[in-house]
A and B are shown apart, each in its own frame.
Chain A
Amino acid sequence: MSQASNKVFAKGWMIAVYLFLYLPIITLVVFSFNDSKLVTVWSHASFRWYEALAQDSDLISAVLLSLEIAGLSALMSVFFGTFTAFSLNRYKRFQGRTLLTSMSSMPLVMPDVIVGLSLLLMIVSVQNWLGFPERGLFTILLGHALLGTAYAAVVVTSRLREMDSKLDEAAMDLGCKPLQVFTLVTFPLLVPALVSAFLLTFTLSFDDVVLSSFLSGPGYSTMPMVIFSRARLGLNPTINAVATVTIVVVTIAVIASSFYTSHQERKRKREEAEAYSDSNK
């Protein structure tokens, strides 16, 4: 009896949690197909707002800018993050390592508003001094890369820590010079971590409003900035359409990647089992 009621409770709880997570998104998707100009009143289904979206050159160029910034800043983050992770993990203990380690993860806990504000102040004063850099794409990139580097460093560090450091020694023992150790052994083994660091920092940059608002200049509005400013003027169904497109793309990517991961995992398990039964023959 109590077991059955436990089961019902567990199921109900699970449904409640998932509804809490996904109901807002479902509402948004449904209303993106609403014909009415009023966001909250359903009239009938149509692709009207998708057509409007196709003609909304402001929004489209904002999406393209966001993609560009996210891609570039993710690359920069992974590059610098990997260097950071390496110097903090693979070199002999040096003075100030503990301090540097905690400092490298500071942007993770620092509120975005403060990071954005301080970056803005610095950039303005540098600009006054040198006449450079103009606020725009470059400054947004700088801000996003700064934040992303901290995240990428965390991801790469955790992978480096679980990697057998004897692999480096084995490579050296077999004739690799230090640079070859990196290119032939460490780097190939780091690739999965680099990919996930890239995806993480890409996402971070793609949905950032705070840093971008501080650091952008005239003519450089990212997608979240445009959505944010339009929402303040009253909800616009075109936003629903662009949001739905984003959600669809993200969902496909997430599902594909989790299918791929679980497939690899099962394949690996099967192969290990085969190796075991082979050796027992």
Chain B
Amino acid sequence: MATAPKETNKAAQEVLLRVENVTKIYDGTVKAVDDVSLTVMKGEIFALLGGSGCGKSTLLRMMAGFETPTKGKIFLANQDITNLPPFQRPINMMFQSYALFPHLSVWENVAFGLKRDGMPKDEIADRVEKMLSLAQLNKYAKRKPHQLSGGQQQRVALVRSLAKRPQLLLLDEPLGALDKKLRETTQLELVNIIEEVGVTCVLVTHDQEEAMTMASRIAVMSEGYFLQVGAPDAVYEMPNSRKVADFIGNVNIFEGKIEEDEPDHVTVRCPECVHYVGHGVSGHPGMDVGVALRPEKIMLSKDKPNGDYNWCAGEVIEIVYFGAHTTYHLKLDSGKVIKAQELNNTRDLSCGLTWGDRAYASWNNLAMVVLTQ
């Protein structure tokens, strides 16, 4: 199921975590995770992406040891950890709610795990100092968690989970509790700290932006299994199914039939237009396919484009202004509504189009993806 791992610039491609055919069934009937296999390389940041109830959290909790798989095995550095309790795993987790101990100071929170390992006192002090300076929290060492802002609490939670130098770090919706403005800066801080320590990460999120910006590989999950595994750009630009295309970002999907099927191009006839796709597709003439086209790859104009392929016409029925870009909703003659995104690269806002105008949407022959599933 898992695709081959992307070549990263890490020299040693060593498998750290291996999940083999893991299934989790709750109460005898509810399949939360359905026969999932995956490998995570050393040094990688791997994201499990999916909506709520897709099984991503259950999978993470099985890695942490809070749940045991109904079937299947989990290996860490070739050691079977499937039935190891959480306190014996060299894995630490950063919780969505941070789960900082409210009765302990920042310093004591970070030292908590080290003390359990029976580390000598001066070494603990050393390590905690290092961790706090990593997150620029030294001057808050004596504070209790409630005396910190959301972003600071989040950094304490991160360095607490890093303090024991785990082989694997699990992040449960790491930015879920922060507001939008704080998310962007925190996200970068988080990635910087993780990269400085060089720890392997598995993160769970429902936010595709979070997954794309932080992870080196993404697994898109739905109903307990993986739809697609790959690098962020691969998942975005080459979704393997309608579900993935639809889940990651916005997409217009045209339903049609393959007409010409040549090694260097295919044409797909849809009710709205004919797509000329500039590369080969594994299919056959007459096959029902979907053509996925991202809104930002569509150009709009008032003038009719040349040629017979890759354009369609419609009426502007909605204009949504986002600041950096504007999304136009175009009602095609067939009644289908597509979205097109235009960059606002000048300050006069309009590209000359307004409500009720007739506009032509066009795109180049490498902009779309042919979906057979």
Q: Which of B87, B103, B149 contacts A276 (CB 8 A)?
A: B149
Alpha-carbon separation in the docked complex, A272 to B117 (Å)? 32
Q: Chain A contact residues: over half helix, strand or loop, or mixed?
A: helix
Closest to B86 in A: A172
- Whether A272 pairs with B146 at a CB distance below 8 angstroms is yes
A167 contacts which of B66, B99, B151, B161 (Cβ < 8 Å)? B99
A-B contact pairs, 15 of them (CB 8 A): A166-B96, A169-B66, A169-B99, A170-B93, A170-B100, A172-B87, A173-B64, A173-B86, A174-B87, A174-B92, A176-B116, A271-B144, A271-B146, A275-B147, A279-B151
List B contacts of A272 (CB < 8 A): 146-147
Cα distance A184–B113 in the bound complex, in angstroms: 12
Query: Number of residue pairs across A and B with beta carbons under 8 Å?
Result: 76
Contact A164/B99 with A175-B164, A271-B146 known, Cβ cut-off 8 Å: yes
Shortest CB-to-CB span from A211 to chain B, Å, is 36
Other-chain contact of A278, B92, B99, B149, B161 (Cβ < 8 Å): B149
**With A164-B97, A166-B95, A170-B99 known to touch, is A177 a contact of B149 (CB < 8 Å)?**
no
- Which residues of B, 95-142, contact A by the 8 Å Cβ criterion? 95-97, 99-103, 112-113, 116-117
Give the interface residue-count category, chain B. Answer: 20 to 34
Contact with B along A194-235 (1 / 0, CB 8 A): 000000000000000000000000000000000000000000
Chain A residues with CB under 8 Å of B96's CB are 166
Q: Which residue of B lies closest to A93 (CB)?
A: B27
B residues whose Cβ falls under 8 Å from a Cβ of A: 64-66, 85-87, 91-93, 95-97, 99-103, 112-113, 116-117, 143-144, 146-152, 160-161, 164
Whether A275 lies near B101 (C-beta < 8 A) is no
State whether A173 touches B92 (Cβ < 8 A).
yes
Tell me the minimal C-beta distance from B137 to chain A in angstroms. Answer: 12
Q: Which residue of A lies closest to B149 (CB)?
A: A279
- B150: which A residues are within 8 A, CB to CB? 279
Please tell me if A185 contacts chain B, counting CB pairs below 8 Å: yes
Q: Are B87 and A271 in contact (CB under 8 A)?
A: no
Q: Which of B93, B103, B146, B164 contacts A189 (CB 8 A)?
A: B103
Chain B residues, Cβ within 8 Å of A167: 99, 101
CA distance A272 to B152 in the complex (A): 12
- Nearest CB of chain B from residue A168's CB, rounded to whole Å: 9
Does A279 contact B87, Cβ atoms closer than 8 Å? no
Give the residue of B116, B146, B147, B149 whose beta carbon is less than 8 angstroms from that of A174.
B116
State whether A172 and B85 are in contact (beta carbons under 8 Å apart), knowing that A167-B99, A189-B102, A275-B152 are contacts in the complex: yes
Residue-wise, chain A 153-165 has the 8 Å CB interface mask toward B (1 for contact) of 0000000000010
Would B101 and A185 count as touching, CB distance under 8 A?
A: yes
Contacts of A185 in B (CB 8 A): 101
Q: Across chains A and B, which 8 residue pairs bring their CB atoms closest together, nearest first?
A: A279-B149, A175-B116, A174-B113, A170-B99, A166-B99, A271-B147, A172-B86, A275-B147
A271 to B152, CA, bound (A): 14
Q: State how many angstroms separate the Cβ of B17 from the closest Cβ of chain A.
A: 16
Chain B residues positioned under 8 Å from A268 (CB to CB) = 146
Minimum CB distance partner of A181 in chain B = B87
Bound complex: CA A278 to CA B143 (Å): 13
Nearest CB to that of A188 among chain B residues? Answer: B103
CB distance from B295 to the nearest CB of A (A): 36
A275 to B85, CA, bound (A): 36
Residue from B64, B101, B144, B151 having most chain A Cβ neighbours under 10 A: B101
